[in-house]
Amino acid sequence: MKKTIKILVVEDEGIQAMGLEETLDQAGYEVVGIADNSEEVLGFVNTEDVDVIIMDIHIKGEVDGIDTAMRVREIKAGIPIIYLTAYMDQETVRRASETHPAGYITKPYRQAQLLSSIEAAIQQI
């Protein structure tokens, strides 16, 4: 029996987060939670079984998605992180690449791109 992949969605726009959750549910993934700030992300990583994280770079609070990804790596190094962002300037890409992400998706995302990025990330597990 195939294991259900558990995904944490990190997105500070409520409607975007709900749309992602619906897309992932329909594709057969289990959304273990939706977080909109670094503290929530770290709480989920510490208490839930998370296989993949879809991480918006610009989230609520002082700590952005890239720094949150670095903190996640310190807790559980093996969780693939896919960045979801509208901002792909050179400095953001440079900082994000230091976290060795499983992929980048630009907003507005296409469903096929999202699902193929998740499938590629699962191969890293």
Q: Report pLDDT digits (tens) over 34-54.
A: 999 999 999 999 999 999 999
Which CATH code, of 3.30.750.24, 1.20.120.160, 3.40.47.10, 3.40.50.2300, is assigned to 6-122?
A: 3.40.50.2300
Domain ranges of the chain: 6-122
Q: Report pLDDT digits (tens) over 10-33.
A: 999 999 999 999 999 999 999 999
Q: What is the DSSP string of the chain?
A: -PPPPEEEEE-SSHHHHHHHHHHHHHTT-EEEEEESBHHHHHHHHHHS--SEEEEESS-BSSS-HHHHHHHHHHH-TT--EEEEES---HHHHHHHHTT--SEEEESSPPHHHHHHHHHHHHTT-
